[in-house]
Structure 1
Amino acid sequence: MKKSYRDDILKYAARMYKTQPEYLWARDPNYAVLRRSDNRKWYGIIMDVPRARLGVAGDGAVDILNVKCDPGLYSLLDKRDGILRGYHMGGTWISILLDGSIELSQIYALLRSSYDLVGPHKKLTK
């Protein structure tokens, strides 16, 4: 089994956004929510999910990162190995396998995009 990028992502979120993970559910103690400090919206969640539940080959569980995805990229990313439709999320969220299927630099880019997408939107003035 490949190394999980879980710890790398949590360190990145702490360094870039001063985000500390929130562990909200006693029955899922490994689920780590990443939330913006300005509006409290989620920009990511790391979960360990059985591969069978995701329809992914292999035994046991795999760490995934759910992030919000730009609607224009959604249909392109959804077809890549290592990226799935958002597990337990609606709309344009995707799940990224953290088992090395996707390069860490690409995961960071998707996490940055998600952070921006859930941020405060500037109102247009007339």
Structure 2
Amino acid sequence: MMTKEQAVAYIKSEYGVEADYPWEELDAFVFRHRVSRKWFCLFMDIPANRLGLNEDTIITVINLKAPKSMREDLLREEGIYPAYHMNKQHWISLDLRKANKKMLEVLMDMSFKATGLKKDL
């Protein structure tokens, strides 16, 4: 398991970027590439039922870009869902309460690489 704070710390140390808060009214923030400004990670607090869960709680999810070739396999993993509020063909949502730390790091790395330009990397 990885906490929101641990995930944020990993991103900051690994990619040298700070969180960006594009919406004043939402409890959400993104991480962008320094050069292209493209998002590679979106953190949101949402009702669990938005992911089809039978829960009445607010959870933290991380949206990441995932390779199409891996998407179906990833969706079989506990805590990984079609992306909430993003293109479901290219993005996935991870329930942070259930995210495996190592898998999350690998998926963040893949999302970073999938959304960047060569000069971003």
Give the structure-2-normalised TM-score: 0.90
Distance in 2 between residues matched to 1:92 and 1:54, nearest whole Å: 16
Structure 1 residue 118 corresponds to structure 2 residue 115:
yes
Aligned to 1:80, what secondary structure does the other structure show?
coil
Aligned to 2:50, what secondary structure does the other structure show?
helix
Distance in 2 between residues matched to 1:58 and 1:121, nearest whole Å: 42
Return the letter of the residue paired with 2:114: L
Question: Which residue number corresponds to residue 90 of structure 2?
Answer: 92
Question: Which residue number corresponds to residue 14 of structure 2?
Answer: 16
Aligned to 1:111, what secondary structure does the other structure show?
helix
Cα distance, 1:121 vs structure 2: 5.4
Question: Which residue number corresponds to residue 78 of structure 1?
Answer: 75
Distance in 2 between residues matched to 1:53 and 1:87, nearest whole Å: 7
Alignment of 1:6-45 (within 5 A): 6-28=4-26, 30-45=27-42
User: Which one has the largest radius of gyration?
Assistant: 1
User: Unaligned regions of 5+ residues in structure 1, if any?
Assistant: none
User: Greater relative contact order (Cα 8 A, min sep 6): structure 1 or 2?
Assistant: 2
Aligned length: 118
Cα distance, 1:103 vs structure 2: 1.0
Distance in 2 between residues matched to 1:57 and 1:18, nearest whole Å: 37
User: Unaligned regions of 5+ residues in structure 2, if any?
Assistant: none
Distance in 2 between residues matched to 1:11 and 1:24, nearest whole Å: 20
What is the aligned-residue RMSD (CA, Å)? 1.6
> Would you identify which runs of 4 or more consecutive aligned residues in structure 1 move more than 3 Å?
none
Identical amino acids, percent of aligned pairs: 27
Distance in 1 between residues matched to 2:50 and 2:91, nearest whole Å: 17
